[in-house]
Amino acid sequence: MNKIQFIQNTLQIPSSGVKGLEATLQLLSDECTIPFISRYRKDQTGNFDEVVIVQIAKLSKQYDELIKRKESILKTIDEQGFLTKELETKIQECFDLQELEDLYLPYKKRKKTRADIAREKGLEPLAKIIMAQNTDDIEFFASKYLNDKVPNEDEALQGARDIIAEWINETIYIRKNLRRLFQRKAIVETRVVKSKK
């Protein structure tokens, strides 16, 4: 998707307005001011008002930042040796910054997490057993993973839970649905601090 298509889709500009959109982007790149464009270049822009021109300018900048971010993410994942053709396609076709960051999340350099520590202790197979939900006697399976770093079943199970929590956190589908749920159902509440009344 090129910049014109991105802005056209986002602002739902009809195909008849594409020439005006192209002219607006050209005028903005020529460093014309928004008031100047909206007042004196209506014939070129197709009568876009200041509000629309501001949105076009913001989306143009957003698109450029998105393309830069994609390049950076692809380079980083490729350097780590994890870039598959499928992942590259997903990243190239993504034009939502939040979704792009979700795709990058599993490959992002970060501090050592509790899940990383649990993996080092050899608890990832136990996490897979728990996630499969095929057994009733989890404690029995946990006892098989005891060693000098994992002294008891409780620690084995906690480590497995840490790994599962990370898997869930890094699942794009779950992140997207939680975001959607918060957007629809969340209530933001504020209170005045007594000293600020």
Report, as an integer, the average pLDDT of 158-175: 93
- Find the DSSP H helices in the chain: 3-11, 18-29, 34-40, 42-45, 50-80, 85-93, 97-104, 114-120, 124-132, 138-143, 153-169, 172-185
- pLDDT tens digit string along 65-122? 999 999 999 999 999 999 999 999 999 999 999 999 999 988 888 888 999 999 999 9
For 2-48, how does the pLDDT look when each residue is reduced to its tens digit (9 = 90+)? 999 999 999 999 998 899 999 999 999 999 999 999 999 989 998 89
pLDDT value, residue 106: 87
Please state, in angstroms and rounded to a whole number, the distance separating the CA atoms of residues 74 and 67: 11
Give me the residue spans of the domains in the chain: 3-107, 114-185
Fold of 3-107: Arc Repressor Mutant, subunit A (1.10.10)
Q: Report pLDDT digits (tens) over 126-150.
A: 999 999 998 888 999 999 999 899 9
pTM here is 0.68
